[in-house]
Amino acid sequence: MPSGPRRRRRLHIAVANPRARARAMLVAVLFLFSVFAAQLLRIQAFDASATQAAALSKRLIKLHTPAMRGQILDTKGQVLADSVERFTIAADPVAIQCYVKVNGECGWQGVNQAAVDLAPRLGLDVSRLTALFTQPNTRYVIVKKDVTPSDWRQIQAVGVPGIAAERTAKRLYPTSMALGQLVGYVNAADQTAGGGVELMLDGTLAGTSGTTVAERAQNGAVIPGSQRVDRPAVDGRNVRLTIDSDIQWYAQNALAKQVTAVKAETGTAIVLELATGKIRAAASYPAFDPNDLSSASTAALRNHAFEDAFEPGSTGKLMTMAAALEHGVVTPDTGVIVPNRLPRAGMKFKDHENHGTEHLTATGVIAKSSNLGTILVGERVPATALEQLYRKFGVGEKTEVGFAGESSGQLAKASDWNAPQRYTVLFGQGYALTAVQAASVFATVANGGIRMPLSLVEGTYNDSGTYVPAPSGQGTRVVSERTATQLSRMLEEVTGENGTAADARIKGYRVAGKTGTADRYDDKLGRYNGFTASFIGYAPAEKPRYVVAVFIHKPQAGMFGGALAGPVFNQVMTYLLQRENTPWSAPSDLEYHVWADHGLSANDPDVLSDARARRDGL
């Protein structure tokens, strides 16, 4: 069936209502505005403080405010180390361009004029400043360090924008090389302690740094008047040492001359005050200047008095003889037959110089510094008893000073001594001690057998600036007073006519002491290499105030302690006796015998002079 014509559908187009569209758009706009309004309300009202703080934090900068380290003073208050205020000058190359404007524009003219005006005040060339002020892609350039406050005020008065200063500190050491290794040093970059007393007492000296907060403008410059202290710096406290800078200077110079003269590797000189244990001088050489570390070697930074341990040699015989006297196995007059060789522990020991059989007393063994005689005396004392007495003298333990890097020395247990060591220990080989420990041994004898704890700090100053003395240490008895007196009399013979220390004699005074020459062990080579020459003594022997100990390590011109260390002892002790106006010595036993032979009074000056001449071999 044929289909008929299709009927067309009519397309109906809906006509939009313009009012409805307008209403929808209005609602959308109002919604957006309400969101913006709410956000603005939140920012301006509810979160206003937080927003302001965030904006301010972007402008704020924190400036480090260093604390001034406390002063280090000697026993009389002389300054040994001090901190002074300094500034580091910095520049903002962008801000400097506006120092001079041409037609209202910032540019190279401002940089050039700033360089011209600042050059004489900074002590730098105009070309150098121009190069610094035109560095690209930076708003911070260090111009000069270590500027004094007065110089900074002159620089600031020029009024160049973008020039600022950061407060720093500089450590000064007025005594320079005389006390370098003892006082120590600080690292120039951050003023942190590097060694010596500076490191030992850093907790007291350092203080606590502070911070200052300031606002920075868009050009990078600090807004004037915007600085405020966030945390104030707390300066370190001052300390006073037991060191007498006059004694230290004298000892340092005498030591330096001798070390140089005998071409030694290093040298040390110690001055101890007997009654208190206070260290009045601790000189080391070679030295360094803590004001300028650029030329100081690593070895020079060490304090040899505290840090170097070495075998003492013959000065150690004092402890062996002390043990023998204390245990009653000898007296000063006990006879000792000393052969040319002494077989012990599968070895044949000998003295430094060949000799026939000698008939000595125990005193003569000390006076002539006989190794064989010392073995014959010391082997009468059990090894454990020897070790115990050595430790009572302070060997093998750090001193009470607590010096940075201090060595404790080395003393093995007697049960661990090998066969030869049982005998080498007796004459000062086979154990090690430091210079201050060795000096303390003699100070104990000179102090009547009482060992005083060593001290280097006289006192400190509290936060209010009041001086607080360090507590006094309590002495401990090591040997009896009788033993100490006998030892002291025996030590006088060392500087007598037949002794080994003619160069240590001081005319008019009785001098007690002991020479030492020890093989020096070289850790780098792993064997003995060179010698340590020493002399430790005191005067007047009958009533001493100080012990002076001198050590010359690895000399090239000689090896004996009397000849190498004796002259330094003589110079330092003579200075001390003259400084203290010490009266001439009281008469010795020899002098009394001479008077008795003459039948004259002990007050006769001619008899006194004659007795001293006989004693001193003059």
What CATH number is associated with residue 202? 3.90.1310.10
Query: For the chain, what is the radius of gyration of the CA atoms?
Result: 40
Exposed, middle or buried, 38 (CB in 10 Å: 0-12/13-18/19+)? exposed
Within a domain: residue 42? no
- What secondary structure letter does DSSP report for 108? H
Sheet holding 210-215, edge to edge: 60-65, 210-215, 228-231
Q: How are beta strands 450-451 and 476-477 bridged, if at all?
A: antiparallel
Within a domain: residue 20? no
Name the residue with tokens 């406390």. 70
Cα of 489 vs its chain's centroid, Å: 36
- What secondary structure letter does DSSP report for 286? S
Q: How are beta strands 72-73 and 239-241 bridged, if at all?
A: parallel
Within a domain: residue 53? no
Within a domain: residue 29? no
- What secondary structure letter does DSSP report for 42? I
Q: Give the per-residue pLDDT at 568.
A: 97
Q: What are phi and psi of 259, to 5 degrees?
A: -60, -40
- Based on the fold, state whether residues 73 and 182 are members of the same structural domain: yes
Helix (H), strand (E), coil (C) string for 55-75: HHHHHEEEEEECCCCCCEECC
| Cβ count within 10 A of residue 64 | 12
Q: Give the per-residue pLDDT at 366.
A: 95
Q: How many domains does the chain have?
A: 3
Q: What is the CATH number of the domain that holds 271?
A: 3.40.710.10
- Based on the fold, state whether residues 549 and 419 are members of the same structural domain: yes
Give the Cα separation of 175 and 95 in Å (integer): 44
Within a domain: residue 52? no
- Based on the fold, state whether residues 256 and 192 are members of the same structural domain: no
- Based on the fold, state whether residues 199 and 255 are members of the same structural domain: no
Q: Rounded to the nearest 10 degrees, how much is the dihedral formed by the CA atoms of 277, 280, 285, 291?
A: 120
Give the Cα separation of 99 and 118 in Å (integer): 12
Sign of CA dihedral 338, 343, 344, 350: positive
Q: How are beta strands 163-172 and 185-186 bridged, if at all?
A: unpaired
- Based on the fold, state whether residues 398 and 444 are members of the same structural domain: yes
Residue 536 near residue 438, CB atoms below 8 Å: yes
Exposed, middle or buried, 23 (CB in 10 Å: 0-12/13-18/19+)? exposed
Name the residue with tokens 């002790």. 573
Last residue of a domain, one of 240, 258, 278: 240
- Based on the fold, state whether residues 598 and 558 are members of the same structural domain: no
- Based on the fold, state whether residues 539 and 464 are members of the same structural domain: yes
Give the Cα separation of 256 and 560 in Å (integer): 18
- Based on the fold, state whether residues 489 and 560 are members of the same structural domain: yes
**DSSP string of 172-199?**
E-TTGGGGHHHH-EE-TTT--EEEHHHH
pTM given for the model? 0.82
Last residue of a domain, one of 240, 255, 276: 240
- Based on the fold, state whether residues 392 and 492 are members of the same structural domain: yes
The answer for residues whose C-beta is within 8 angstroms of residue 64's C-beta and 6 or more apart is 166, 209, 211
Q: How are beta strands 79-91 and 60-65 bridged, if at all?
A: unpaired
Q: Give the per-residue pLDDT at 524.
A: 80
**What are the CA-CA distances from residue 556 to residues 268, 287, 305, 424 (Å)?**
16, 19, 21, 25
Give the Cα separation of 154 and 144 in Å (integer): 14
The CA-based angle 208-210-215, given to 5 degrees, is 170
Give the Cα separation of 618 and 612 in Å (integer): 8
Within a domain: residue 424? yes
Name the residue with tokens 């003073």. 73
Within a domain: residue 147? yes
**What SS3 class is residue 271?**
strand
- Based on the fold, state whether residues 175 and 261 are members of the same structural domain: no
The whole-number mean pLDDT for each consecutive block of 10 residues of the chain, a chain of 618 residues, reads: 54 59 70 67 59 57 81 96 93 91 88 94 94 89 93 94 88 92 90 93 91 66 59 91 97 96 95 97 94 87 93 96 97 96 95 92 94 97 97 96 94 96 96 97 97 97 92 94 96 88 91 93 82 95 96 91 94 96 74 47 48 49
| Cβ count within 10 A of residue 443 | 27
Last residue of a domain, one of 224, 240, 256: 240
Q: Which domain does 189 fall in, by range?
A: 63-240
**What SS3 class is residue 387?**
helix
And the tokens for 48? 């206003």
Q: Give the per-residue pLDDT at 599.
A: 46
Give the Cα separation of 393 and 483 in Å (integer): 14
- What secondary structure letter does DSSP report for 257? H
**What SS3 class is residue 356?**
coil
Give the Cα separation of 552 and 269 in Å (integer): 9
Within a domain: residue 458? yes
**What SS3 class is residue 404?**
coil
Residue 534 near residue 550, CB atoms below 8 Å: yes
- Based on the fold, state whether residues 616 and 522 are members of the same structural domain: no
- Based on the fold, state whether residues 323 and 413 are members of the same structural domain: yes
Nearest to 262 by CA among 607, 500, 592, 564: 564
Residue 371 near residue 347, CB atoms below 8 Å: no
